[in-house]
Amino acid sequence: MSLLSDLINLDLSDSTEKVIAEYIWIGGSGMDLRSKARTLPGPVSDPSKLPKWNYDGSSTGQAPGEDSEVILYPQAIFKDPFRRGNNILVICDAYTPAGEPIPTNKRAAAAKIFSHPDVVAEVPWYGIEQEYTLLQKDVHWPLGWPVGGYPGPQGPYYCAAGADKAFGRDIVDSHYKACLYAGINISGINGEVMPGQWEFQVGPSVGISAGDELWAARYILERITEIAGVVLSFDPKPIQGDWNGAGAHTNYSTKSMRANGGYEVIKKAIEKLGLRHKEHIAAYGEGNERRLTGKHETADINTFKWGVANRGASIRVGRDTEKEGKGYFEDRRPASNMDPYVVTSLIAETTILRKP
């Protein structure tokens, strides 16, 4: 095993200028991450300098067998925390050979919104709080829970320490450091209310980069849980009953909101979000109706309401924002399995491009 470990950790820079690029894309379910690696002649830091590639879309549910070729367009580069050195992770989106985005490519539509002059001028910032649950591999039951049984009720686990309260911290800390190494703007981690559930935060990130960074962070977490022999779940309500669900609260601000008088801009933006509540809910993740019940720090899925420091609201405004008269707000509706390209661009479209 030590030889295998030595080989995995080989420093290629001692013997070659060639580097390994892991091309990453989103599969047919919209949540399954796929990847494959290729050798490049030397280091690359600009995604436009990377070659396009292809894959068998019929094996990912994204193309028919008789016309299965799907083309990968490199969009963002991160340092590879697994191979290290000059090796890279490459976030890609997927197109037909004719250059049309395939139906599961949500990045292309988001990029159009984020390139709109009105959106560019507002420099939208996002901070996404990604909750997730760690499951025991063979039984798909939360890590630290007795198999077929339940731990004590919620209360002691949120941000807790101790072998009987915090389950999987080695995975969480490994992920935190790996994201920082990769160049992802990960801003924190914490244990969540349900035991076996954790959260990491990405941001503040501007525009389309919020989606690129969150997908890269998800990929790294999938790889780390693979190594640890633990299953990663983004299900918005992994355990029914009196247990918290998992969300992806999305914090948001624009240049106008961050400027003096921004609180009035925030209130107008929230009013616009309320008018399109159904459209947003439809785009905020599968199975979200199991989570947004009006209990466990959520608003009912059919109700739109906002409030200051109210974690039972659809939109929460912080006390600091109210006090300073400017800042940001938090959309608490997105589920943990949401697509960040869809959510971030829809918020920008509704609040910036949508006229009153």
136-195 pLDDT per residue, tens: 999 999 999 999 899 999 999 999 999 999 999 999 999 999 999 999 999 999 999 999
* pLDDT tens profile 226-275: 999 999 999 999 999 999 999 999 999 999 999 999 999 999 999 999 99
- Spell out the residues 6+ positions from residue 160 whose beta carbon is closer than 8 angstroms to its own: 166, 191
Q: Give the per-residue pLDDT at 67.
A: 86
CA–CA separation, 7 and 4 (whole Å): 5
Q: For the chain, what is the mean pLDDT?
A: 96
Task: Using a pLDDT cut of 70, give the percent of the chain over it.
Answer: 99
Q: Cα(first)–Cα(last) distance of the chain, in Å?
A: 64
CA–CA separation, 53 and 24 (whole Å): 11
CA–CA separation, 112 and 106 (whole Å): 11
CA–CA separation, 272 and 12 (whole Å): 53
Q: Is the pLDDT of residue 1 over 60?
A: no
- Spell out the residues 6+ positions from residue 74 whose beta carbon is closer than 8 angstroms to its own: 23, 47, 48, 50, 51, 52, 90, 91, 92
Kindly state the DSSP code that residue 153 receives in the 8-state scheme: P
Domains and their CATH numbers in the chain: 4-104 (3.10.20.70), 117-353 (3.30.590.10)
pTM over 0.95: yes
Burial tier of 23 (Cβ tally within 10 Å: 0-12, 13-18, 19+): buried
Q: Are 288 and 349 in contact (CB under 8 A)?
A: no
Q: Give the per-residue pLDDT at 13.
A: 86
Q: What are the phi and psi torsion angles at 142 (to 5°)?
A: -55, 145
Question: What sign results for the dihedral spanned by CA atoms 196, 199, 200, 206?
Answer: positive
* pLDDT tens profile 286-339: 999 999 998 888 889 999 999 998 878 999 999 999 999 999 999 999 999 999
